[in-house]
Each structure stands twice: as C-alpha cells, then as structure tokens.
Structure 1
Amino acid sequence: MIVIVEDDAGMGRALQRLLRVSGFDILLFGSAEAYSHANCMRVPYCLVLDVQLPGISGPRFYEQLGYRRPPAVFNTSHDNPETRSAVACAGGQELLIKPFVAKDLLDAISRVAPGGGPAP
C-alpha cells in the first residue's frame, strides 16, 4: 500500500489513478493530520508526500514519524534551497518537482522502496 498525502485534490486524484493503474493499493489523504487521525493499521510500502501541506508540512510530518517511518517520495512546486534542505533534513530520499511525468514518480518509488511493488 502507498499512502499519498496531497492537499491539491486534482493532483491527489491524478496520483491515485496513476498508482492504481500501476498496480498499487492506495490511500489518499488531504493533510498529514487526516492521515494521522485515520489510525491505519497497515504500514505503507511508501509515502508520497507533498511538501507544502496545510497545518504540518510534509517534511515536518515525516520527521515526527521517527524510526518507524516508511520510505518517502516528496513532491513540490516550490523548487528552492529551503525546500530541498527541509526534505533532506527530514530524511527524504527523493524530491520531485511539479510538474513531473509518471515515470519519474514510479522510478522514485522503486529507488526508495526496492523489493516491494504493486499488489499481485
């Protein structure tokens, strides 16, 4: 399962469709708080996190997950040194700049979470 946390509803649906068509089980949330309050029992294979979220930011949320955090791919439309630094300091392995193509996301997921993959 991949968890997407994206506050732009259109972008969230697009990511959800792409990853479902690629064979992944998906959960979509509009904020980090919504995901936290959902109390998901399954640990995700990977997180796809927007950097600029309402409330707590993607990097701050990822930091707070602590040692139990799954791999993550961050995405943003704000490519600047502060954003890159926030993602790196949070432990983010991949940062995609919007707009990006589907292959870039799928490749990033493969790099951060090797050995997993779509549901059979």
Structure 2
Amino acid sequence: MKDTGQLIVVVEDDAGMRRALQRLLRVSGFDTLEFESAEAFLGASIGQGPYCLVLDVQLPGLSGPRLYEQLGHRRPPAVFITSHDSQATRAAIEKARGEELLIKPFVTQDLLNAISRAMQRGSPP
C-alpha cells in the first residue's frame, strides 16, 4: 500500500513497539498518530477521524477493548494486538465488537492484512 493518506491511530504502551508500528505503517503508506494510553488518545484533538485503530489489549488504565466500547457509534474499524492471549482477552474483544486480533509477536504482513480486512468491514469517518 503506497500513498494512501489514510490515518491509522496506534494506542500501545510499549514505546519500542509503538515506534516499530509507526515505522511499519508509514513505510506502507499510511499516516499515523501514536498514543501511549487510551486516556491520551481520548484527550487528543485528532481532527479528521482515523480510518483504523491498532489497539493494545492490556493498556495501563483503560484497556483497548474498553476504549473501543467507549467510542460507541463513531468508532472506526480496529485491530487488537496482545501478547497475553486468553479466553478472557478474546471475550473482552468480542464484547467490544472487535473482529481482528493479532498475538505478539506477529508477522508484518499479518498486521497489514488485518488492517485491510478491518477497513473493508468497517466504515471510516
């Protein structure tokens, strides 16, 4: 994907992972914004909404699935990422109506494919 101009928002508390995701998405042609917590994302003025979210499940404070639930009807498609796969994690994502989950570490192409699927299913702002 090149020159999409589509905004992907990454909410990830691990600074190294956040930087790696930013580089990968920018090289793939996306615009990105990154936040270290759900609260930082909620407090930001983004302007035009993102086309897709990449949300870590286990964030300090408000979790990725709870953040997604709070966005209500104005939420873009999302890809959830976690290194703690469990039935409880999957149940939280399902309750939030999330459909894409990747387990860390994941292959770069798997993330891009998950974003593509999420964007095809969802309706960006």
CA shift at 1:115, angstroms?
A: 8.9
Instruction: Tell me the residue number matched to 1:65.
Output: 71
Contact in 1 for aligned 2:81/2:101 (Cα 8 Å): yes
Instruction: Give the Å deviation of 1:93.
Output: 1.1
| Alpha-carbon separation, structure 2, partners of 1:97 and 1:25 | 23
Aligned residue for 1:3, secondary structure, equals: strand
| Superimposed CA distance per residue, residues 37-80 of structure 1 (whole angstroms, 9 cap, x where no aligned partner) | 11211110000000000110000000000011000000000011
Say whether residues 1:91 and 2:97 are aligned partners: yes
1:10 is aligned to 2:22: no
What does 1:35-46 correspond to in 2, within 5 Å? 35-46=41-52
SS at match of 2:109: helix
Equivalent position of 1:49 in the other structure: 55
Give the fraction of aligned pairs with identical amino acids, expressed as a percent: 71
TM-score, normalisation: structure 1: 0.94
Count of residue pairs the alignment pairs up: 116
- 2:4 maps to what in 1? none
Asked whether 1:30 is paired with 2:41, we answer no
SS of 2:60's partner is coil
> Which amino acid in the other structure matches residue 43 of structure 1?
G
Supply the RMSD in Å over aligned alpha carbons. Answer: 1.3
Aligned to 1:21: 27
Normalising by structure 2, we get a TM-score of 0.90
**Aligned residues of 2:77 and 2:121 also touching (Cα < 8 A):** no
- Structure 1 segments (4+ residues) deviating >6 Å: none
